[in-house]
Structure 1
Amino acid sequence: MGDNQNLLAEQRRALILDEVRRRGGVRVNELTRRLSVSDMTVRRDLDALARQGMIEKVHGGALPVSDPSAHEPGFEVKSGLELSAKAEIAKAAAELAVPGSAIALAGGTTAYALAQRLLEVPELTVVTNSVRVADVFYNAQRAAASGGEGRPAAEAATVVLTGGMRTPSDTLVGPVADAAIRSLHFDLLFLGVHGISVEAGLSTPNLAEAETNRHFVRSARRVVVVADHTKWGTVGLSSFAALDEVDVLVTDAGLSAEARAEFADRSTELVVAGEPTGDADS
């Protein structure tokens, strides 16, 4: 974080907040050393951040604010988070899609970013429970049919949108969606998640969405999770798959060394967007 004693309070607090979120917590003595400021200054900064609801103060340091396990942000809120990471993840994940294959895209903002990349992959059959994802393909097809800038690959794609009840993240879940997914078989599933951890596996705050995701996982020959580093360590209300059920995790370079180490002895392949594949789990 640097050791500039003349940082403005706002700059210091932004650096502290970034460090808390990136590392999952910091201690006061670490911050005083890295920022070259007094213990009292750091504590005042932590007090200010805590009053704003940005961190949670604990004895000797600070932790990120934890969302309730049943809280589910809407699509518009989530779409504004980690934009550059999602773009990099989408680019890397799209390279796993084979032309002519049957793929599934479960709902979410990372899946939405991925859908735009998949427009470049020809002759896909795409099954999704995301209204937003389906619209990416439908809009591209309409543009191509009207002589606009739609991509030929998008026009060749066959898109199947499941029915079901709509969630705050604009995915369709429930018995109708579950029945449709159970009757199908996918070469590849791209799955965004609310949270991922060693203990809880893949999780979501929405119980119906968890059940629908279970059916997606069971119907896929290969499961690819697309999740930025902020999802690591987050636990939603309901788990729907263990880490060992994931064939590939595509994430970004912000993933901590500790999290990467968890995959060293697992069968799950770790792909870190923007890094050479061979270095992803080093």
Structure 2
Amino acid sequence: MLARQRQERILEAVRAHGGARVSELVGLLGVSEMTVRRDIATLADRGLVARVHGGATALDGRSADEPGFQVKSAMALVEKRAIARVAAGLVQPGDSVALSAGTTTFAVAEALLGVPGLTVVTNSLPAARLLHDSSREDQTVVLTGGVRTPSDALVGPVAVSALRVLHVDWLFLGVHGMDEEAGLTTPNLVEGETNRALVACARQVAVVADSSKWRVVGLCSMASLDEVDVLITDSGLPDVGQRELSARTGRLVIAPVPTA
């Protein structure tokens, strides 16, 4: 298969699913991982895909595009785990914590397994399953209920009604994009409404988002930057992003990312 043909198939996969992992593309194309990474780099240089750790995602020109949980779960793994470690360090034993849906908040859920006595409220099916399967007797997990989205979130009136009567110490909020004008955004209108209810029930709001989310704008704004108490990201955030987010949020934390 010629390089041009491989790149066309990669582009088709990314556009069809919102993103693609290198491991999946190796199986699809029957070539080496190095070849796939080289093809992704070529497509990124041509402005056709966004190159991320673990694969490629569709460019965020369409604000309603919503990649699925499995596609996003392999992206920026090292950064997400570093962000999650910092997030878990904010939580004290016995706290009540809300987790929004998403792959970064799933990493936070993994990191929280080491904190005793938590009550965790979430609309994330994967996070709820992870916490439930840990069989921690000192941990309470509350799943909001609602209608499932491609990101494995439970959203809608049932979720919003459940959240309106709750009050938690911390919310860890994942986002599709963060921008100085649009604030925190999502491509899903109903998920945006549910996330606003999560923000409203939290005493402190911590956004967990890797640096690729900077200046990405989804269809729906769900909070402004000045509603954020702590924003945790990685060192890939450009200087202008660090200046803007430091000025507009309560506190910006850059998570240390281990080098290979």
TM-score (normalised: structure 2): 0.77
1:200 matches 2:162: no
Structure 2 gaps, min length 5? 1-40, 51-57
Partner-residue secondary structure (3-state), 1:224: strand
CA distance in 2, matches of 1:273, 1:186: 24
Deviations 1:250-270 (A, max 9, x none): 001111111001134335201
CA distance in 2, matches of 1:271, 1:77: 26
CA distance in 1, matches of 2:197, 2:164: 6
Partner of 2:62: 68
Partner of 1:101: 95
CA distance in 1, matches of 2:242, 2:199: 23
Q: Which amino acid aligns with 1:169?
A: S
1:85 matches 2:117: no
Deviation of 1:65 after TM superposition, in Å, equals 3.5
Partner of 1:244: 226
Deviation of 1:155 after TM superposition, in Å, equals 3.1
Partner of 1:53: 48
- Cα RMSD after superposing both structures: 2.1
Structure 2 vs 1, CA of residues 49 and 172 (structure 1 numbering), >3 Å: closer, same or farther? same
Retained in 1: the 8 A contact 2:81–2:107? Answer: yes
| Residue from 115, 126, 130 that aligns with 2:120 | 126
CA distance in 1, matches of 2:230, 2:246: 13
Partner of 2:111: 117
Partner of 2:144: 162
Partner of 2:134: 140
Moved over 4 A (4+): 45-49
Partner-residue secondary structure (3-state), 1:222: strand
Partner of 2:24: none
Retained in 2: the 8 A contact 1:196–1:232? Answer: yes
Q: Which amino acid aligns with 1:126?
A: V
CA distance in 1, matches of 2:67, 2:250: 28
Structure 2 vs 1, CA of residues 239 and 155 (structure 1 numbering), >3 Å: closer, same or farther? same
Partner of 1:21: none
Structure 2 vs 1, CA of residues 46 and 140 (structure 1 numbering), >3 Å: closer, same or farther? closer
CA distance in 2, matches of 1:178, 1:90: 25
CA distance in 2, matches of 1:225, 1:171: 17
Deviations 1:231-256 (A, max 9, x none): 01000000010000000000011111
Bigger-Rg structure (1/2): 1
Structure 2 vs 1, CA of residues 264 and 172 (structure 1 numbering), >3 Å: closer, same or farther? closer
Partner of 2:17: none
CA distance in 2, matches of 1:66, 1:269: 27
Partner of 1:61: none
Partner-residue secondary structure (3-state), 1:262: helix
Q: Which amino acid aligns with 2:224?
A: A
Structure 1 gaps, min length 5? 1-44, 56-63, 142-153, 276-282
TM-score (normalised: structure 1): 0.71
1:188 matches 2:183: no
Retained in 1: the 8 A contact 2:231–2:249? Answer: no
5 Å-filtered alignment, 1:2-41, equals: none
Deviations 1:118-140 (A, max 9, x none): 01001000000001000111111
Partner of 1:274: 256
